[in-house]
Each structure stands twice: as structure tokens, then as C-alpha cells.
Amino acid sequence: MSFNTDLVVSALPLLLMGALVTVKITAISVGLGIVIGLFVGIARIARSRVLRVLAAIYVDFLRGTPLLVQIFLIYFALPIVTGQRMDPFVAAIVSCSINSGAYVAEIFRAGIQSIDAGQMEAGRSLGMTWAQTMRYIIVPQAFKRVIPPLGNEFIALLKDSSLVSVIGFEELTRRGQLIIARTYGSMEIWTCVALIYLVMTLAISRLVAYLERRYKVDDHR
């Protein structure tokens, strides 16, 4: 069986458009996930028992259920409750963001707890409140330490975003499926899709490595 290069050339522009959509979903979802995860991660170690319990429920539920099921719940079940049909793009962003937020919360929690307890004591001795000490002393140091796992979360979500194809959203994987349905070129299209994912994940890995080196250099100045 020959490899149809003409099919790859003709399909590549459509696949690259799908790849841009994938990057867009991933970037927005990770950005929102970092914001959610930071607050939930802090809530996980907060003094308030209520906050700790609520944060634990959020993290355990979203980490304990498949992303695919969460997508179905948001796209199919939530509109039944609200009575409003949800746009596939919004459903994709919401489901990926809250899922990412649960994993990022644990990343931030571990990063914050890795900071020496004396840092908090030093901040409090300077007259700072607990929140001010977290904001100006603890979190900036923790953020540098969590760059590698945040990069891994970015890569994982980039690949997991292919699951939103089940609700008909045309990202990279869905574009590949539609092209195959029309051309029957499974080997060519899936090979191309795999290579595009590989290029994107390698680019993210290099970016994370650069940021890690940069912050290490800043720490030694």
C-alpha cells in the first residue's frame, strides 16, 4: 500500500487550521486552569476547614472522573438543567479549564508546601498578613518551582483536548476524522495528525525548558 503524499499536501492546510484551534483551546484552558488551580491550591492549605473541604471535593471529583465524562456532563446534561443550549467551543473551554484546574491545584499546593516554613514566619514578623505573605513571598517562589509540572500539564491537556471532538468541535483530531471520512486516507491523515501533535508538544517542552533555565539564572543573580 503506497503512501499518498498528494493527499497529505492537500489536507495539510485544513489540519493546520485544526491545530490552531487545538492550541487556542489549550492555551485558554490552561490559562484559566492556572487561575482556578492557584486559588484552589491555596484553599487546600487554608486555615478555614470549610475551604479545605470544598477544595478537596473539587479536586477529588474532577481528578477521579474522566475528562470525556465531564465534557458530556457540561455539553449534554447541563443544558437540560439550565434550559440553554451550550456552544461547543464554550463547552470545550469550560470542561478543559475546570479539569486542568484540579490538577494545577495539586501542583500549586505541592509547590507552596515545598517552600520553607520560615518564609511564612519571616513575612508575619514583618507585619504582613497571611494573605500578603502568600502573595508577595510564598507564591512567587513556589511558581518558579512548579514551572516543569505546569509544562507537563500543558502538554497533557493539549493531547486530551482531542476528546472535545466527540461533541462535534472541529479541532485537529476532528478535522482528521472528517478528511478521512471523505478520502479514506487513514494512514496518511493519522500520520500527519500525529506528527503535528508531536511538533506542538516538542515546542512546548522547549519553551518550558527555556523558562526553567531563565528562572534558575535569575535565582543566582
Q: How many residues does the chain have?
A: 221
* Amino acid (one-letter) located at 25: I
- Any idea where the domains of the chain sit in the sequence? 5-219
> For residue range 163-198, what is the model confidence (pLDDT) as tens digits?
998 888 889 999 999 999 998 889 999 999 999 999
Tens of pLDDT along 58-97?
A: 999 999 999 999 999 999 999 999 888 889 999 999 999 9
State the pTM of this model: 0.87
Nearest residue to 96 via CA among 69, 60, 71: 71
- Report the CATH number of the 5-219 domain: 1.10.3720.10
Q: Find the DSSP H helices in 74-185.
A: 78-82, 88-113, 117-125, 130-133, 139-145, 147-160, 172-183
3-state secondary structure of 129: coil
pLDDT (tens digit per residue) in 117-149:
888 888 888 888 888 888 888 888 888 889 889
Output phi, psi for 46, to 5 deg.
Answer: -70, 165
Question: What is the residue whose three cell numbers read 465524562?
Answer: 69
